[in-house]
């Protein structure tokens, strides 16, 4: 594969003639470039009027490679041929170079240009490009490719520094200005070729040489100083990737070209692997065009219901100048919002937040005078409970995470999670596989209630920015959220037409519960500390939900989580085979229940839904619930429900739980990795009716 390098435009704030005088000081040797061992002039010629000066040199460069590779190659230095065409009249220098050593195995081509700045004739622009094609090299092609590109890019900045050094040397000697070229009397044309060892001075005139097309800088090219000022410090190879990706967009993309900050995010998301970043950006641009995202900030107006119940908003900036977004997720009724406005409206709102975030980053970059390309998100989880594990809501969240990561990469600088409850590891275990490792490293969690102590918010936010609901002095105008009234829900037929919630028909199971015939789901748990989660809606009638456990060996049909079937109820209540591990819960028609249970022991766990029966007509006596059952009236002949259950692996949950327990006194990095030292957790559960 051919490796390419393209520099941004580098600007010397000196006239072209002075820069050329500094450039000539690099020859025949240059102690400031250690790999440059020396050069010899092969040929030299001038046009009749002296305007065009052509020099061809042979340059020797030391091989900086492992000793084994040098021994195999049998060389200590390589030879490059360089051809310079200097046009004094046009004030430009074009340089072409290629390797002579190993030319049949390795092909290296380099092109450079010095030209007058298009907007300031007292400044000089420099551009550089190169390509490397290793066709064969004793089986070391890959190693040589990495070494060559690393050394080449390492010497790019050094070359600029050398020119700056010689410019300062000239100025210190009193040479701060050189006259521009003016036409002189015609000279007799004379071709002249110099051999090895010839001196650089005393160049005679000769016939004109063909002059390559100039590479003048223009408004479509990136300036290295601009990159440093607006985008931050980049290595030469990173600069090259940015220039190449930007040029590709200019040549192929129809429509608005993304801003440089946005292009750079895609490169960072793919570790500056140009082809992968280009494909990711191509898909994102297609997505933006399809969904008209470029005009989103001008066209999107959130429904009044979202403005009232969506508990998120912008709030000044963090200690590093990043825009700060606050999300009070624990106070937000995700299920109610989805049923009231639909998933698509929520997604559009999230996209508008990301678009606004990019805009605010640009504003903060100008305000603080340093590159700011990402923002900080502060997530308050107080109030988070199993209601937030409603599966359509979780799936919608995962979809939003995927859309944001695909189209807004590297926009999240830091995510601060505060007041995380014990149920948080369950949610984190569900969503963490969909968050890439780079993003996950930006998640910091604080589980204590007092997050202003040592290692708390004061490490990331100025004291006068910490919100009042977290104990700070700053009034925060982010909506407080709250439960969305069911009266505001969209009619079911509209949701069906929008195809938003009915997509769950293939995920949820439908069940009928008859009098005396409970519906049961057996779940096999091979090891302790796994987490059983459930989510069900009671569509008709009233039921009692219970959870049982038996230590008996797994039988046929119940090895896999979610295997359903009716088990022998005899002895399940007071007998020795089964023990109840969750108190029974009475669920009315229309209720939506989410819950979880941390399994202390391996074995079989039984989720049971049983119809409520009138007094004196109890079908299956359960210890501790007799009074509950007999106090309720008959709900009818049949109960109907939709349910879903899932088991979270113990290694995933233990890692999340360990992360939560390790951050009670300060922020710590959130990880989904298993912690071998995590202590055994006692069983816990949560049942929330909505």
> Which run of H or E residues covers position 281?
helix 274-291
* pLDDT single digits (tens) 61-70: 887 766 656 6
Q: pLDDT at position 559, please? A: 39
DSSP state of 258: P
pLDDT band with cut points at 50, 70 and 90 for residue 73: low
- Helix, strand, coil share (%) of the chain residues, nearest 5: 35, 25, 40
Q: pLDDT at position 504, please? A: 52
* pLDDT single digits (tens) 5-57: 999 999 999 999 999 999 999 999 888 888 889 999 999 999 999 999 999 99
Q: pLDDT at position 495, please? A: 56
Q: pLDDT at position 69, please? A: 61
pLDDT band with cut points at 50, 70 and 90 for residue 72: low
pLDDT at 204 over 70: no
Q: pLDDT at position 662, please? A: 67
CB-count exposure of residue 258 (10 Å: 0-12, 13-18, 19+)? buried
Is the bond preceding 28 in cis, omega lying within 30 degrees of 0? Answer: yes
CB-side neighbour CA atoms (13 Å) of 460: 27
Q: pLDDT at position 415, please? A: 94
pLDDT band with cut points at 50, 70 and 90 for residue 185: low
pLDDT at 186 over 70: no
Q: pLDDT at position 195, please? A: 44
Contact of 444 with 667, CB cutoff 8 Å: yes
Q: Which domains are present in the chain?
A: 3-172 (3.30.530.20), 233-291 (1.10.8.20), 295-470 (3.40.525.10), 508-648 (2.60.120.680)
Q: Kindly provide the b/e burial profile for residues 669-684, where b requires at least 16 CB atoms within 10 angstroms of the residue's own CB.
A: ebbbebbeebeebeee
pLDDT band with cut points at 50, 70 and 90 for residue 430: confident
Q: Span 542-546, mean pLDDT?
A: 94
CB-side neighbour CA atoms (13 Å) of 548: 22
* pLDDT single digits (tens) 438-464: 888 899 988 777 787 778 899 999 999
- 292 vs 209, higher pLDDT: 292
pLDDT at 402 over 60: yes
Which residues neighbour 361 within 8 Å (Cβ) at sequence distance 6 or greater? 261, 322, 323, 372, 373, 374, 375, 411
As given in the structure block, the two tokens for residue 433 are 């596989």
Three-state secondary-structure class, residue 536: strand
Distance between alpha carbon 337 and the CA centroid of its chain, in Å?
A: 27
pTM of the model: 0.77
Pairing of strands 543-550, 531-540: unpaired
DSSP annotation string for 405-458: HHHSTT-EEEEEEES--TTHHHHHHHHGGGS-HHHHTTEEEE-SS-TTSTTSGG
Integer-rounded Cα Rg, in Å, for the chain is 35
As given in the structure block, the two tokens for residue 485 are 């009234």
CA distances from 72 to 14, 80, 280, 498 (A): 45, 20, 40, 67
* pLDDT single digits (tens) 642-681: 898 988 887 777 667 766 766 666 788 765 443 333 333 3
Which has the closest alpha carbon to 280: 409, 381, 434? 409
CA distances from 9 to 105, 122, 128, 218, 221 (A): 31, 16, 8, 9, 7
């Amino acid at each position: 594969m051919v490796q390419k390098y393209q520099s941004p435009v580098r600007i010397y704030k000196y006239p072209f003639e002075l820069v050329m005088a500094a450039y000539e000081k690099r020859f025949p040797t240059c102690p400031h470039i250690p790999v440059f061992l020396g050069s010899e002039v092969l040929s030299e010629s001038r046009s009749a009027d002296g305007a065009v000066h052509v020099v061809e040199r042979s340059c020797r460069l030391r091989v900086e490679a492992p000793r084994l590779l040098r021994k195999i190659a049998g060389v200590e230095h390589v030879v490059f041929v360089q051809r310079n065409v200097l046009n004094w009249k046009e004030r430009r220098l074009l340089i072409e170079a290629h390797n002579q050593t190993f030319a049949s195995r390795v092909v290296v081509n380099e092109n450079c240009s010095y030209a007058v700045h298009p907007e300031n004739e007292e400044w000089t622009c420099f551009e550089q490009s190169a390509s490397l094609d290793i066709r064969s090299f004793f089986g070391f092609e890959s190693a040589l490719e990495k070494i060559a590109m690393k050394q080449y890019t390492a010497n790019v900045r050094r070359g600029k520094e050398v020119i700056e050094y010689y410019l300062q040397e000239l100025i210190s000697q009193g040479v701060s200005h050189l006259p521009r070229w003016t036409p002189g009397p015609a000279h007799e044309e004379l071709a002249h070729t110099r051999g090895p060892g010839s001196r650089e001075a005393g160049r005679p005139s000769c016939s004109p040489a063909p002059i390559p097309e100039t590479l003048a800088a223009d408004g479509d090219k990136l300036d290295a100083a601009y990159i440093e000022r607006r985008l931050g410090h980049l290595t030469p190879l990173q600069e090259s990737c940015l220039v190449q990706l930007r040029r590709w967009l200019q040549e192929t993309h129809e429509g608005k070209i993304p801003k440089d900050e946005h292009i750079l995010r895609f490169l960072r998301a793919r570790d500056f692997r140009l082809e992968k970043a280009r494909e990711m950006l191509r898909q994102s641009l297609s997505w933006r065009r399809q969904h008209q995202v470029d005009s989103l900030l001008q066209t999107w107006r959130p429904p009044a219901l979202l403005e009232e119940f969506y508990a998120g908003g912008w709030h000044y900036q963090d200690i590093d100048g990043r825009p700060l977004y606050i999300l009070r997720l624990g106070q937000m009724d995700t299920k109610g919002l989805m049923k009231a406005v639909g998933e698509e409206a929520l997604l559009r709102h999230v996209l508008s937040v990301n678009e606004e975030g990019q805009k605010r980053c640009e504003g903060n970059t100008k305000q603080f005078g340093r590159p700011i390309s990402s923002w900080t998100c502060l997530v308050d989880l107080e109030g988070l409970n199993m209601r937030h594990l409603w599966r359509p809501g979780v799936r919608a969240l995962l979809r939003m995470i995927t859309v944001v990561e695909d189209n807004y990469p590297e926009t999240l600088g830091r995510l601060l999670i505060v007041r995380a409850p014990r149920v948080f590891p369950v949610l984190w275990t569900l969503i963490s596989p969909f968050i890439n490792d780079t993003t996950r490293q930006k998640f910091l969690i604080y589980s204590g209630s007092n997050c202003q102590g040592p290692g708390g918010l004061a490490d990331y936010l100025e004291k006068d920015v910490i919100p009042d609901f977290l104990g700070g002095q700053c009034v925060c105008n982010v909506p407080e959220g709250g439960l969305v009234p069911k009266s505001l829900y969209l009619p079911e037929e509209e949701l069906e037409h929008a195809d938003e919630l009915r997509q769950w028909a293939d995920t949820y199971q439908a069940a009928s519960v008859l009098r005396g015939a409970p519906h049961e789901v057996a779940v096999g748990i091979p090891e302790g500390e796994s987490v059983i989660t459930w989510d069900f809606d009671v569509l008709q009638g009233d039921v009692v939900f219970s959870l049982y456990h038996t230590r008996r060996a797994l039988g046929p049909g119940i090895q896999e989580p979610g295997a359903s079937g009716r088990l022998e109820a005899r002895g399940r209540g007071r007998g020795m085979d089964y023990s109840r591990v969750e108190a029974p819960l009475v669920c009315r028609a229309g209720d939506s229940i989410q819950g979880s249970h941390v399994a202390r022991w391996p074995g079989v766990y039984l989720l049971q839904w049983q119809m409520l029966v009138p007094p004196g007509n109890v079908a299956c006596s359960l210890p501790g619930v007799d009074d509950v059952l007999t106090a309720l009236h008959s709900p009818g002949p049949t109960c109907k429900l939709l349910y879903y259950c899932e088991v979270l692996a113990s290694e995933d949950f233990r890692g999340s739980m360990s992360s939560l327990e390790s951050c009670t006194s300060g922020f710590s990095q959130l990880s989904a990795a298993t912690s071998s030292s995590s202590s055994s957790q006692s069983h816990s559960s949560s049942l929330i009716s909505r």
